[in-house]
Amino acid sequence: QVQLVESGGGLVQPEGSLKLSCKASDNIFNYNTMRWYRQAPGKERDLVATMTVGGTTHYSVSAKGRFTMSRDGTKNTVYLQMTSLKPEDTAVYYCFANILTRQYWGQGTQVTVSA
């Protein structure tokens, strides 16, 4: 059973930075894509960043230029480096992976941006 475990969330001040981690229970190169989503209270879950197995990354409009997705295959971990954080970035951030149509989700990690 594939498991994704996020960590690194917390409280940060506006304009601060935070780095999220998502550790997979197996080889991350088994997955077609790995992604970060986020869900703010009362809102739908939105895609933030995607990384393909080949290493190509895509970002949402709100994330582009501020967030960077990376990976470390030796640790079976993907990361989301977030900078210039804004209060509207406050949300639960979820890690996602897929192998064709099979989808896997982490439990989420809370990010709160507040003074």
Q: Tens digits of per-residue pLDDT, 77-86?
A: 999 999 999 9
pLDDT of residue 43: 97
The mean pLDDT value for 65-76 works out to 98
pLDDT of residue 34: 98
Please classify residue 101 by burial: count the beta carbons closer than 10 Å to its beta carbon, then call 0-12 exposed, 13-18 middle and 19+ buried: exposed
Q: Tens digits of per-residue pLDDT, 10-69?
A: 999 999 999 999 999 999 999 999 999 999 999 999 999 999 999 999 999 999 999 999
Q: Which two tokens stand for residue 49?
A: 């960043």
* Banded model confidence at residue 2, pLDDT cuts 50, 70, 90: confident
For residue 107, the 8-state DSSP code is: -
For residues 78 and 20, what is the distance between their CA atoms, to the nearest angstrom? 8
pLDDT of residue 1: 83
pLDDT of residue 14: 98
